[in-house]
C-alpha cells in the first residue's frame, strides 16, 4: 500500500461486514473514517477509528464532513434483503436507499477528490441459482429476480455512470451468502436451531452446491481492491472457493457452534412440494438448489487467495 498512511471512508462501519472491514484496513495501516448512522453508533466506534455520524442513507445524505481528506471510499451501507418485507413498495424503498444513496455518495466523493470507490453489491444481481455444472461468472448478463437484486444492479450502474462522467475509479464486488460473527437472517436462524437441538429436514439435501463467503475474506479482499492496479473499473465475484451442500452447510455450522445438528433425511422433492403448498416455494428452492460462483478472475487478476475456508467459519 505504500509507506504513508492513506485515508479510507467505510460506510456501514458498525455492521456485519463493516466491523471486520474496519479491522482489515486498520491492520494494513490505513487511516479509517467510519461512517455511522447516528451518534450512539459513532461513539461505539470511537476506540477503533475516527467516526462521523451521517444519518439515514439516501439520496439526500450529506457526506461532506465524512469525505474530507479521503482517498478511497468503501460503500457497505445498504438496505439489505429482507425475507418478510412489509414496506408498501419494497422496490421503491430499495431504490431510494441503495440506488439513490449510492449515486449521492459517488457524486460527493468525486467532488471531494476521492480517487476510488468500492461498492459491495450482491450475487443476486446474477440471479438466484445455477443449474448443475454451471457457475456464475463476472461477465454473465445480469438476471436479478427480486427488488433487492434489481436495486443492487441499479446501484452498480449508478456508480459506474458517475465514475465515467467524473473520473472516479470504481470497483464492484458481488459476494454470495456470507458467514461470520454477528451474522443475521437465515444463517443465524439455522445456527440457533442447531444450538437448541431442533430436528432439521435438511439431511437429504446432499446433491446441491452453494458457494459461501467468510466475511473476513471479503474484508481482506476489499482492502486489496482499495490499492491494487488491477481492480480499477472492474467487477468481481468472490467466494471461499469450496461449494457445500445444504446438509454439509448445517454440519459445518454445527461445528462452529459446538453442537452436532439433528438432520432428518427428507427427500428434496418432498420439501419442494411442501414449500409450494405452504407458499414458501422460493425459500425451499434456495435450500435445495445450487448457486456456484466462478471467481477465477478475482483470484488471478488481484493475485488473491481467501485465507479462511469452511473449516474456519465462526457464527
pLDDT tens sequence across 302-314: 999 999 988 889 8
Report helix, strand or coil for 32. Answer: strand
Is the pLDDT assigned to residue 79 strictly greater than 50?
A: yes
List, for residues 88-132, the tens digit of each pLDDT value: 788 999 999 999 999 999 999 999 999 999 999 999 999 999 998
Interval 39-59 mean pLDDT = 69
- Looking at residue 85, its pLDDT comes to 60
Q: Is the pLDDT of residue 42 over 60?
A: no
Answer yes or no: is pLDDT of 2 > 60.
no
Q: Report DSSP letters for 188-226, one per residue.
A: HHHHHHHHTT-EETTTT--S--B--EEHHHHHHHHHHHH
- pLDDT reading at 5 higher than 80: no
pTM of the shown model: 0.91
Domain boundaries, the chain: 7-180+212-240+294-312, 185-208+244-288
**Is 60 exceeded by the pLDDT of residue 227?**
yes
C-alpha cell read off for 308: 479462511
What topology does CATH give the domain 7-180+212-240+294-312?
Rossmann fold (3.40.50)
Give per-residue pLDDT as tens, 159-217.
Answer: 999 999 999 999 999 999 999 998 988 899 999 999 999 999 999 999 999 999 999 99
More reliable by pLDDT, 3 or 89: 89
pLDDT score of 89? 84
- What is the per-residue pLDDT for 1? 47
Say what percent of the chain tops pLDDT 70. 93
Residue 36 confidence (pLDDT): 83
Q: Residue 83: pLDDT band by 50, 70, 90 thresholds? A: low
Residues marked as catalytic: 148
Contacts of 312 (CB under 8 A, 6+ apart): 214
Lowest mean pLDDT among 29-33, 36-40, 286-290: 36-40
- Residue 43 pLDDT greater than 60, yes or no: no
Nine-digit cell string for 99: 440506488
**243 vs 87, higher pLDDT:** 243
How much of the chain is helix, strand and coil, in % rounded to 5?
40, 15, 45
Mean pLDDT of the chain: 91
Phi-psi region of 146 (alpha: psi -120 to 50; beta: other; left: phi over 0): beta
* Grid cell in block for residue 188: 443465524
Please state at what angle helix 185-195 crosses helix 246-257, rounded to 10 degrees: 60
Amino acid at each position: 500500500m505504500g509507506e504513508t498512511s492513506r485515508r479510507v471512508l467505510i460506510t456501514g462501519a458498525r455492521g456485519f461486514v463493516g466491523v471486520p472491514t474496519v479491522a482489515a484496513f486498520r491492520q494494513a495501516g490505513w487511516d479509517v473514517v467510519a461512517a455511522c448512522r447516528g451518534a450512539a453508533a459513532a461513539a461505539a466506534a470511537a476506540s477503533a477509528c475516527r467516526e462521523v455520524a451521517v444519518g439515514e442513507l439516501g439520496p439526500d445524505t450529506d457526506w461532506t464532513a465524512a469525505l474530507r481528506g479521503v482517498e478511497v471510499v468503501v460503500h457497505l451501507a445498504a438496505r439489505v434483503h429482507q425475507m418478510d418485507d412489509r414496506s408498501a413498495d419494497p422496490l421503491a424503498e430499495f431504490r431510494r436507499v441503495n440506488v439513490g444513496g449510492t449515486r449521492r455518495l459517488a457524486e460527493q466523493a468525486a467532488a471531494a477528490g476521492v480517487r476510488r470507490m468500492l461498492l459491495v453489491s450482491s450475487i443476486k444481481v446474477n440471479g438466484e441459482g445455477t443449474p448443475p455444472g454451471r457457475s456464475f461468472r463476472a461477465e454473465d448478463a445480469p438476471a436479478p429476480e427480486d427488488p433487492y437484486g434489481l436495486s443492487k444492479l441499479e446501484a452498480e450502474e449508478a456508480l459506474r455512470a458517475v465514475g465515467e462522467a467524473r473520473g472516479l475509479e470504481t470497483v464492484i464486488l458481488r459476494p454470495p451468502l456470507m458467514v461470520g460473527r454477528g451474522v443475521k437472517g437465515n444463517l443465524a436462524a439455522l445456527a440457533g436451531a442447531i444450538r437448541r437441538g431442533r430436528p432439521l429436514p435438511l439431511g437429504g439435501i446432499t446433491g446441491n452446491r452453494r458457494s459461501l463467503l467468510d466475511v473476513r475474506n471479503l474484508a481482506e479482499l476489499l482492502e486489496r481492491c482499495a490499492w491494487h492496479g488491477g481492480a480499477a473499473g472492474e467487477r468481481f465475484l468472490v467466494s471461499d472457493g469450496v461449494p457445500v451442500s445444504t446438509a454439509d452447510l448445517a454440519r459445518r455450522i454445527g461445528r462452529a457452534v459446538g453442537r452436532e445438528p439433528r438432520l432428518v433425511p427428507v427427500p428434496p422433492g418432498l420439501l419442494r412440494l411442501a414449500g409450494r403448498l405452504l407458499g414458501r416455494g422460493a425459500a425451499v428452492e434456495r435450500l435445495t438448489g445450487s448457486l456456484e460462483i466462478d471467481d477465477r478472475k478475482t483470484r488471478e487478476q488481484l493475485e488473491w487467495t481467501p485465507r479462511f475456508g469452511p473449516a474456519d467459519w465462526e457464527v
